[in-house]
Amino acid sequence: MRLTVLLVAAWELLGRLLLDAHDANFVPMPSGVAVELFAVAGSGELWAALWRSALRVAVGGSVGAALGVLAGALGASGRAGAVLRAPLALLRPIPPIAWIPLTLLWFGVSELQQVVILAGATFHVVALGVGDAARRVPEGLVAAARNLGAGVGLTTEVRVRAALPGVLTAVREGFAVAWFVLVAAEFVSAAQGVGVLVLEGRDLLLPARTFVGMGALAAAGALTDWAVRGASGWLVRWT
């Protein structure tokens, strides 16, 4: 922590010493970033941007995660699983960001396009993680349950509970990827959002705004992770 504070202070100091007012716009100092932060927060732009982006991540991420859990679970074992896994494995190496221009062609500049990209990105990450978690359930556990007289329903429940931590980790990773991809998607075509804030920094020649956007992004990502962890903790306790 001390190092960070030191570096920020050094940044500020060097900035004040070496830059004149004109250059200070070009290479912002911490104080400049703080000023911009208050400006953007006060004008309401920051909140509107965060809300827009968060909504996209929430919807796209949830859809993708839900489908991913389904696909991961179905694809985990058996012949049907192998059939499902193959085409997914073929599509997976294509970075989700690469889908952006194609989806723009198909869906136009719209919220749907953003949500589709996010859902696709989350889907692959979650499907992979869930499949992994399902396969790693110790067979001994299932066998023990059967020995104690459990039927199909109960053994399935045993599997689900054993795989649950892995599934939740996969969902968390999915949302992290969603934020990553969101920024790229907004970069290419969105009118409002955190990514747009970052871009405005370049367009308006206000790098301080870019830093504000970065900070907002980091905070939003951390908040999402905290929320997902909280929800999964609640889920685990409840089941």
Partner 1 sequence: MKRLAALGWPALGVVTLVLLWVGAALYMGKPHVLPGPWAVAETMFSMRGPLVVAAAKSLSRVGVGWLAAAAVALPAGWAMGAVPALDRELRALLSLLRPIPPFVWLPLLLLWVGIGEPSSWMVCFVAALFPILAHARQGVAETPVALAAAAENLGATGLHLWARVRVPAALPLTFTGLKAGWSLAWMSVVAAELVGADGGLGQLILDSRNLARPDLAMSGMAVLGAVAAVTGGLLGWAERRVAE
Piece of the chain touching partner 1 by CB under 8 A; list 1-9, 48-56, 138-146, 226-234: 1-9
Residue identified by tokens 């953007």 is: 40
* CA distances to 20, 34, 76, 125, 142 from 153, in Å: 72, 57, 18, 28, 12
171 interacts with partner 1 by CB under 8 A: no
Query: Closest CB to partner 1 among 6 and 236?
Result: 6
Judge contact between 24 and 32, C-beta under 8 A: yes
Task: Locate 151 and state its tokens.
Answer: 């039927």
Question: Among residues 10, 13, 18, 83, which is the contact residue for partner 1, using CB under 8 A?
Answer: 83
175 interacts with partner 1 by CB under 8 A: no
Chain centroid to CA 201: 22
Ramachandran sector of residue 205 (left: φ over 0; alpha: ψ -120 to 50; beta: rest): left
Question: Among residues 7, 9, 10, 14, which is the contact residue for partner 1, using CB under 8 A?
Answer: 7
- C-alpha 44/C-alpha 38 separation (Å) is 10
223 interacts with partner 1 by CB under 8 A: no
Piece of the chain touching partner 1 by CB under 8 A; list 51-59, 157-165, 166-174, 179-187: 179-187
Piece of the chain touching partner 1 by CB under 8 A; list 15-23, 62-70, 103-111, 163-171: 103-111
Q: Where are the alpha helices (DSSP H) in the chain?
A: 2-18, 21-26, 30-42, 45-74, 78-91, 100-107, 111-135, 139-147, 152-189, 194-203, 207-238
Q: Half-sphere exposure of residue 160, counting CA atoms within 13 Å on the CB side?
A: 12
- In angstroms, give the least distance from the CB of 237 to partner 1: 27
105 interacts with partner 1 by CB under 8 A: yes
Query: Closest CB to partner 1 among 89 and 235?
Result: 89
Judge contact between 53 and 180, C-beta under 8 A: no
- In angstroms, give the least distance from the CB of 74 to partner 1: 12
- In angstroms, give the least distance from the CB of 33 to partner 1: 12
Chain centroid to CA 3: 28
Residues that bind partner 1 (CB under 8 A): 1-4, 7, 26-27, 79, 82-87, 89-102, 104-106, 179-180, 183-184, 187-188, 195, 198-199, 201-202, 205, 207, 210, 213-214, 217-218, 221-222
